[in-house]
Structure 1
Amino acid sequence: MRRIGLVLAAALVACEAAVAPSPTPIPSPIPTASVTPPFASPPPIVAREETPRLLLSIPYAPPTFDGLGVTATRIGGVTPRGPRSLAVDENDRIYIWDRARLRVVVYTGGKFERAISLPYVEQEADALLVDRDRLYLRAGSYLSGTIEYVIDAATGALLRATSTDAGSIYPRRRTTPQPSPTHDTFGTDAAKLDYRYTSVGQGPNSLYERVDLGRGVLAYAVEPAPEKLIDAYARADGALFELAADYGGVGSVYVYAVLAPSAAPGPSSSTVPATAPVAFGRPVPDRLTATLAGAGSIDLDARSRTAVWWLASLVKERTDLAVAPQEPLLVARWNDGSRIEVVVSGGLLFTDGKIYLGPATVYEQLAAYSLAAPARLSELASRGATVRIADLPGVQRALTAAEIAELRASLSKGFSVSEGELPFMLEFPFPMYE
């Protein structure tokens, strides 16, 4: 019995040990997730005001080769007009489209450097842009679309001409600022910042602004020449320049630095590939002769032949127009013996019994420019010359050898201008010239 009691007691102790509750575990502290404060909003941009400074002042008078031309007054209240557009390269060379003389004039350090003749460009072209060794110009046409030109800045050769129907070939957006009480965005830089112009009552409160569309105005400047604005140019590095001029072709032309560069310039655009134009299904002719009644004929040089063919490559055939019976302006010949004659009437071209319409209207302008080149006139004068005054009959006579030498010396100092810079004929019964 005693043994049984001991066994039972041991069993009870074992059972109690088995059912005794385990101590409640002490909970571990739960790690608290760190709370990151929300990003602080960037401080508001305080637009920086900048002060324009005058870089260049070019008087219209007296007319000189290193100056800028101005078109003459025209019937119907057309006032004289000076240069049309400007650009400035990364070395601060200033390029001005001198429409009266069909050229781009280059100034360095405030002094004339050179002139690039462009007789194949429409006189009312604008939106000049310089990118490395390339110049760009754009000309609207009332006939058929808009032309964009890519030009070799060293030689003035036309490298490419396109119609904007296929999209712009400019390396970045470039237009001409328009006076408007609302913001007029006219260009971008390499960083894609916008440049806009706001005209306030045509007075001293008109502004230029550099704008980040996501953040606001970064910098601004008051227009330096109220009521004289011609053009403004945003360079790739953000520097902004203005072209201004006194009204009516009297006074001077001015170039201002408006905003300082905002950043290092981005990479230049890729070089325009060298291609050759094709017009009327034919390559550039080996010989292209231009003839103007009363002025003679001339074989155009390689640069002019290529320019004519680029412009002709933009035409489209029309079947709803009648052929005009005229003498051909151009005769194109190839070394294989083939040839075509091209009759020109503004933007209409007639050849091989077909009619074409294109945006270019400068074919006669280019022919006249070549025929009236001072070097050609000097060479012709060496063979003899005659003086004749239409209003004074009986004074016609041959020039003496001394007079011819003086004439040639004068021509050697001459330079070509467009018809727009010359006095213009008036309708009868007015005198022949103003």
Structure 2
Amino acid sequence: MLRYAVIGGGIVGAALADRLAGEGASVTLLEQDRPGRATSRWSLAWLNAAAKTPEAYHRLNADGMRAWARLAAELDGHAWYRPVGNLEVADAGRRDRLEATVTRARAWGYAARLVDRDEAAGIEPALRLPDAPARDLSFAWFPEEGYLLTEPLVERLVARARRRGARVHTGDAGRVTGLQRAGEAAWGGGTERAGEAGQVTGAKGPGDRIIGVRTAAGDLVPADVVVCCAGRWTAGVAAMAGIRVPIVDPEPPGSTAPGFVVRVGPVEVPPTRVLHTPGVHLRPHGPHTVHLEAGDVTADLHTPEPVLRDLADTLLERARRVVPSLREARVQEYRVCVRPMPADGMPVAGAVGAVPGLYVVVTHSGVTLAAHLAELVTRELLEDVRLPELAPYRLERFTEDSGRAAS
């Protein structure tokens, strides 16, 4: 029986470890913190596909939404699955884009429709609509969208994976420091040079198969296949094998990878839907807490703490204007959260041909896609096939040989 090591205990890695274990595979999940405590914990966790293009990517995401519905039926969905719909309000500057999204989504068979002001108010009674002429606003309802509560979800995925026989290593025992190759005393000590996307460099030969993962605890976890689901840390793990996975670097000031999120409460009557309004995006987060984001309220890893606090207050004030029941709420938590963003915005999923035994999965839409990617990747791994659904997302698309420069 082949042994699989899954690096990363976020929503993608947890879903994959659970799926592999459910198929009887020998699985070890490695996570440097607690599973689900990094990006997955702070995500808006919005299940959606309406605005995603091209059509193949839209359908991948729509299939992802359906995969969660199937999983909810067998894994305590009441605790984490919230298919409550998404209501979007666009001002004059974004009205045409929203209406075009609805038209395209409907043509692809997706549940979407424009609604008027009165229907929007009925869909979400907690929402106070902006004081603007009707011609300046547009409303759209996506009834099959929703959100996930990722912490209880990941907790259940990991617990079930354990029951199915998976081993879970956390802390130093789950912090990856190197990838072991056949015939090498050590590999991944930090001296390798990452080459072009999907191409191995350095002294190691491209035929040297990975045989295990080294950890900060000094252990070697044997593995016939290593699956990197490390999210924002994917580039670093891949570099241990001399491979470059092009994702947006979160470190430079102004990087688009970090996002700013805020949790506020208490709120007596929280909204029930996912809401996208011109100044703030929000959703419920538990019975008395609301999660806030906004695309124009940005921060990076260098933003000073006093500025972050001011940004959090700004988002709360915007939210109060559209959800009056937040008038007594206060900022409870805020965070600059680094999102894994492949350079072209599309997922990366597939075996790395230059490094036998290495498979990479990284995507910005991890919450929507994780359950379905777990299904597809498990099939590829256990059946030794290359599925057409994942063909557009291979790492090799970034190489010069494919006619696209690595970026």
| Structure 1 or 2: more strand by fraction | 1
Task: Pick the structure with greater CA Rg.
Answer: 1
Same fold judged by TM-score > 0.5? no
With normalisation by structure 1, the TM-score equals 0.23
Structure with a larger share of its residues in helix: 2
Structure with the greater relative contact order (CA < 8 A, sep ≥ 6): 1 or 2? 2
